[in-house]
Protein backbone atom coordinates (compact mmCIF):
# COMPACT_ATOMS: atom_id res chain seq x y z
CA UNK A 1 0.00 0.00 0.00
CA UNK A 2 1.26 3.47 -0.87
CA UNK A 3 0.40 6.50 1.23
CA UNK A 4 2.91 9.02 -0.18
CA UNK A 5 4.18 8.94 -3.75
CA UNK A 6 6.07 11.08 -6.21
CA UNK A 7 4.51 12.04 -9.52
CA UNK A 8 6.08 14.56 -11.87
CA UNK A 9 7.40 17.34 -9.61
CA UNK A 10 5.09 16.84 -6.63
CA UNK A 11 4.43 14.61 -3.64
CA UNK A 12 0.96 13.08 -3.45
CA UNK A 13 -0.72 11.89 -0.27
CA UNK A 14 -3.18 8.99 -0.36
CA UNK A 15 -5.08 9.21 2.95
CA UNK A 16 -8.15 7.15 2.24
CA UNK A 17 -9.89 4.97 -0.31
CA UNK A 18 -13.32 6.07 0.93
CA UNK A 19 -15.44 8.30 -1.26
CA UNK A 20 -19.07 9.48 -1.19
CA UNK A 21 -19.20 9.11 -4.97
CA UNK A 22 -18.84 6.26 -7.41
CA UNK A 23 -17.84 8.08 -10.60
CA UNK A 24 -18.32 6.19 -13.83
CA UNK A 25 -14.68 6.79 -14.78
CA UNK A 26 -13.18 5.94 -11.37
CA UNK A 27 -10.22 3.55 -11.51
CA UNK A 28 -11.74 1.72 -8.53
CA UNK A 29 -14.83 0.78 -10.50
CA UNK A 30 -12.48 -0.89 -13.00
CA UNK A 31 -10.76 -2.72 -10.13
CA UNK A 32 -7.54 -0.86 -10.88
CA UNK A 33 -5.45 -0.27 -7.76
CA UNK A 34 -2.29 0.85 -9.49
CA UNK A 35 -1.22 4.35 -10.50
CA UNK A 36 2.11 4.94 -12.19
CA UNK A 37 3.50 1.80 -10.55
CA UNK A 38 2.16 2.59 -7.07
CA UNK A 39 -0.42 0.38 -5.38
CA UNK A 40 -2.92 2.88 -3.93
CA UNK A 41 -5.16 0.28 -2.31
CA UNK A 42 -4.96 0.96 1.43
CA UNK A 43 -6.87 -2.18 2.34
CA UNK A 44 -8.65 -2.04 5.70
CA UNK A 45 -6.23 0.33 7.38
CA UNK A 46 -5.93 4.02 6.62
CA UNK A 47 -2.63 5.68 7.61
CA UNK A 48 -2.31 7.77 10.76
CA UNK A 49 -1.08 11.35 10.48
CA UNK A 50 2.23 10.30 12.04
CA UNK A 51 2.73 7.52 9.47
CA UNK A 52 2.11 9.96 6.62
CA UNK A 53 4.40 12.60 8.10
CA UNK A 54 7.19 10.06 8.62
CA UNK A 55 6.91 8.94 5.00
CA UNK A 56 6.98 12.53 3.70
CA UNK A 57 10.04 13.32 5.84
CA UNK A 58 11.73 10.19 4.48
CA UNK A 59 11.16 11.17 0.85
CA UNK A 60 12.25 14.77 1.39
CA UNK A 61 15.36 13.73 3.35
CA UNK A 62 16.20 11.35 0.49
CA UNK A 63 16.54 14.41 -1.74
CA UNK A 64 13.12 14.97 -3.33
CA UNK A 65 12.11 18.64 -3.36
CA UNK A 66 8.42 18.79 -4.21
CA UNK A 67 6.91 21.67 -6.13
CA UNK A 68 3.72 21.02 -4.15
CA UNK A 69 2.41 18.50 -1.64
CA UNK A 70 -1.02 17.34 -2.75
CA UNK A 71 -3.79 15.57 -0.84
CA UNK A 72 -5.25 13.46 -3.58
CA UNK A 73 -5.43 9.75 -3.64
CA UNK A 74 -7.50 6.82 -4.49
CA UNK A 75 -10.46 8.25 -2.58
CA UNK A 76 -11.77 11.58 -1.36
CA UNK A 77 -9.19 13.12 1.03
CA UNK A 78 -11.77 15.01 3.11
CA UNK A 79 -13.33 11.70 4.18
CA UNK A 80 -10.26 11.52 6.45
CA UNK A 81 -10.54 15.17 7.52
CA UNK A 82 -8.99 14.90 11.02
CA UNK A 83 -5.89 13.17 9.62
CA UNK A 84 -5.73 15.59 6.67
CA UNK A 85 -5.79 18.59 9.02
CA UNK A 86 -3.16 17.12 11.34
CA UNK A 87 -0.83 16.30 8.45
CA UNK A 88 -1.35 19.71 6.84
CA UNK A 89 -0.81 21.56 10.12
CA UNK A 90 2.46 19.73 10.78
CA UNK A 91 3.70 20.22 7.22
CA UNK A 92 2.98 23.94 7.39
CA UNK A 93 4.89 24.21 10.65
CA UNK A 94 7.91 22.32 9.33
CA UNK A 95 8.22 23.13 5.62
CA UNK A 96 7.45 25.98 3.25
CA UNK A 97 5.99 23.82 0.47
CA UNK A 98 2.66 24.77 -1.02
CA UNK A 99 -0.14 22.41 0.08
CA UNK A 100 -2.97 21.56 -2.28
CA UNK A 101 -6.20 19.63 -1.83
CA UNK A 102 -7.77 17.85 -4.80
CA UNK A 103 -11.40 17.22 -3.98
CA UNK A 104 -14.84 16.49 -5.39
CA UNK A 105 -16.24 19.25 -3.18
CA UNK A 106 -18.61 17.28 -0.95
CA UNK A 107 -16.56 17.54 2.26
CA UNK A 108 -18.86 20.09 3.90
CA UNK A 109 -21.92 18.00 3.06
CA UNK A 110 -20.31 14.86 4.47
CA UNK A 111 -19.20 16.56 7.72
CA UNK A 112 -22.35 18.67 8.11
CA UNK A 113 -20.42 21.96 8.45
CA UNK A 114 -18.36 24.34 6.34
CA UNK A 115 -14.94 22.67 6.42
CA UNK A 116 -13.27 25.29 4.18
CA UNK A 117 -12.63 27.42 7.28
CA UNK A 118 -10.82 24.51 8.92
CA UNK A 119 -8.70 23.92 5.83
CA UNK A 120 -7.87 27.60 5.35
CA UNK A 121 -4.97 27.96 7.83
CA UNK A 122 -2.96 25.19 6.15
CA UNK A 123 -4.17 24.56 2.59
CA UNK A 124 -2.91 27.02 -0.03
CA UNK A 125 -4.81 25.70 -3.03
CA UNK A 126 -7.98 23.71 -3.63
CA UNK A 127 -8.84 22.07 -6.92
CA UNK A 128 -12.41 20.88 -7.25
CA UNK A 129 -13.47 18.40 -9.92
CA UNK A 130 -16.60 19.61 -11.64
CA UNK A 131 -17.41 16.63 -13.88
CA UNK A 132 -20.63 18.17 -15.25
CA UNK A 133 -22.36 21.54 -15.54
CA UNK A 134 -25.93 20.50 -14.73
CA UNK A 135 -27.35 18.46 -11.90
CA UNK A 136 -28.85 15.67 -13.97
CA UNK A 137 -25.58 14.91 -15.79
CA UNK A 138 -23.55 15.38 -12.63
CA UNK A 139 -25.62 12.78 -10.77
CA UNK A 140 -25.29 10.40 -13.71
CA UNK A 141 -21.49 10.77 -13.85
CA UNK A 142 -20.43 11.00 -10.19
CA UNK A 143 -23.17 8.78 -8.74
CA UNK A 144 -23.18 10.02 -5.13
CA UNK A 145 -24.24 7.67 -2.33
CA UNK A 146 -28.04 7.87 -1.88
CA UNK A 147 -27.82 9.79 1.41
CA UNK A 148 -25.90 12.62 -0.33
CA UNK A 149 -27.49 12.53 -3.78
CA UNK A 150 -30.31 15.05 -3.37
CA UNK A 151 -28.15 17.84 -1.92
CA UNK A 152 -24.90 16.97 -3.62
CA UNK A 153 -24.81 19.21 -6.72
CA UNK A 154 -25.79 22.30 -4.73
CA UNK A 155 -23.45 21.32 -1.88
CA UNK A 156 -20.52 21.01 -4.29
CA UNK A 157 -21.22 24.52 -5.60
CA UNK A 158 -21.58 25.90 -2.05
CA UNK A 159 -18.22 24.31 -1.24
CA UNK A 160 -16.60 26.13 -4.17
CA UNK A 161 -18.13 29.46 -3.08
CA UNK A 162 -16.99 29.05 0.53
CA UNK A 163 -13.55 27.89 -0.54
CA UNK A 164 -13.07 31.04 -2.64
CA UNK A 165 -13.86 33.13 0.44
CA UNK A 166 -11.54 31.25 2.79
CA UNK A 167 -8.68 29.78 0.76
CA UNK A 168 -6.03 31.65 -1.23
CA UNK A 169 -6.34 29.84 -4.55
CA UNK A 170 -9.37 27.92 -5.74
CA UNK A 171 -9.84 26.31 -9.12
CA UNK A 172 -12.52 24.16 -10.66
CA UNK A 173 -11.44 21.64 -13.25
CA UNK A 174 -12.86 19.20 -15.76
CA UNK A 175 -11.16 16.17 -17.25
CA UNK A 176 -10.25 16.56 -20.91
CA UNK A 177 -11.68 13.28 -22.19
CA UNK A 178 -15.09 13.25 -20.49
CA UNK A 179 -16.99 15.18 -23.18
CA UNK A 180 -17.79 18.12 -20.88
CA UNK A 181 -18.50 21.51 -22.46
CA UNK A 182 -15.44 23.41 -21.21
CA UNK A 183 -16.94 26.83 -22.00
CA UNK A 184 -20.05 26.11 -19.91
CA UNK A 185 -17.89 24.68 -17.13
CA UNK A 186 -15.69 27.79 -17.16
CA UNK A 187 -18.75 30.03 -16.89
CA UNK A 188 -20.07 28.02 -13.95
CA UNK A 189 -16.67 28.01 -12.22
CA UNK A 190 -16.26 31.76 -12.67
CA UNK A 191 -19.82 32.42 -11.47
CA UNK A 192 -18.87 30.63 -8.25
CA UNK A 193 -15.77 32.83 -7.93
CA UNK A 194 -13.22 30.15 -8.91
CA UNK A 195 -10.60 29.89 -11.63
CA UNK A 196 -11.04 27.17 -14.23
CA UNK A 197 -8.81 24.72 -16.06
CA UNK A 198 -9.05 21.55 -18.11
CA UNK A 199 -6.92 18.75 -16.75
CA UNK A 200 -5.49 15.66 -18.33
CA UNK A 201 -7.01 12.31 -17.38
CA UNK A 202 -4.49 10.03 -15.70
CA UNK A 203 -5.17 6.34 -15.61
CA UNK A 204 -2.77 3.76 -14.33
S1 LIG B 1 -14.41 11.21 -6.67
FE2 LIG B 1 -12.49 10.23 -7.28
S3 LIG B 1 -12.25 8.49 -5.88
FE4 LIG B 1 -14.37 9.16 -5.73
S5 LIG B 1 -15.45 7.83 -7.15
FE6 LIG B 1 -14.92 9.71 -8.24
S7 LIG B 1 -12.97 9.28 -9.26
FE8 LIG B 1 -13.28 7.71 -7.68
Helices (H), 45-193: 49-61, 81-94, 107-111, 116-119, 135-142, 146-166, 182-191
Task: Give me the pLDDT at residue 44, please.
Answer: 85
The answer to whether the CB of 66 is under 6 A from ligand 1 is: no
pLDDT tens digit at each of 204 positions of the chain: 899 999 999 999 999 999 999 988 888 877 788 888 999 999 889 999 999 999 999 999 999 999 999 999 789 999 999 999 999 999 999 999 999 999 999 999 999 999 999 999 999 999 999 988 999 999 999 999 999 999 999 999 999 999 999 999 999 998 877 778 889 999 999 999 999 999 876 543
Task: Give me the pLDDT at residue 204, please.
Answer: 38
| Pairing mode of beta strands 98-103, 68-71 | parallel
Cα dihedral across residues 149, 29, 48, 14: positive or negative: negative
The answer to whether the CB of 118 is under 6 A from ligand 1 is: no
Q: Which of 12, 14, 19 to mutate to test the pocket of ligand 1 (most atoms within 8 A of CB)?
A: 19
Cα dihedral across residues 152, 29, 74, 196: positive or negative: negative
Pick the CATH number of 4-199 from 3.20.20.70, 3.50.50.60, 1.10.1200.10, 3.40.50.300: 3.20.20.70
End-to-end alpha carbon distance in the chain:
15
d(CA 156, ligand 1 centre) in Å: 14
- Give domain limits for the chain: 4-199
Can you tell me the distance from the alpha carbon of 96 to that of 106, in angstroms, rounded to the nearest whole number?
28
Cα dihedral across residues 30, 33, 37, 40: positive or negative: positive
Chain-centre distance for alpha carbon 185:
18
d(CA 112, ligand 1 centre) in Å: 20
Task: Give me the pLDDT at residue 201, please.
Answer: 66
Amino acid sequence: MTTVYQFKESLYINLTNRCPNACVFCAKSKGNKMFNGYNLDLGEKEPSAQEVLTEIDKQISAGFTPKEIIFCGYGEPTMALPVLLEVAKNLKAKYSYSLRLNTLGLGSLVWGRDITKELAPYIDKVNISLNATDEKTWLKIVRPAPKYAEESFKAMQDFVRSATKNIKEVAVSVVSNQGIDAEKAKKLANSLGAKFFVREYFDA
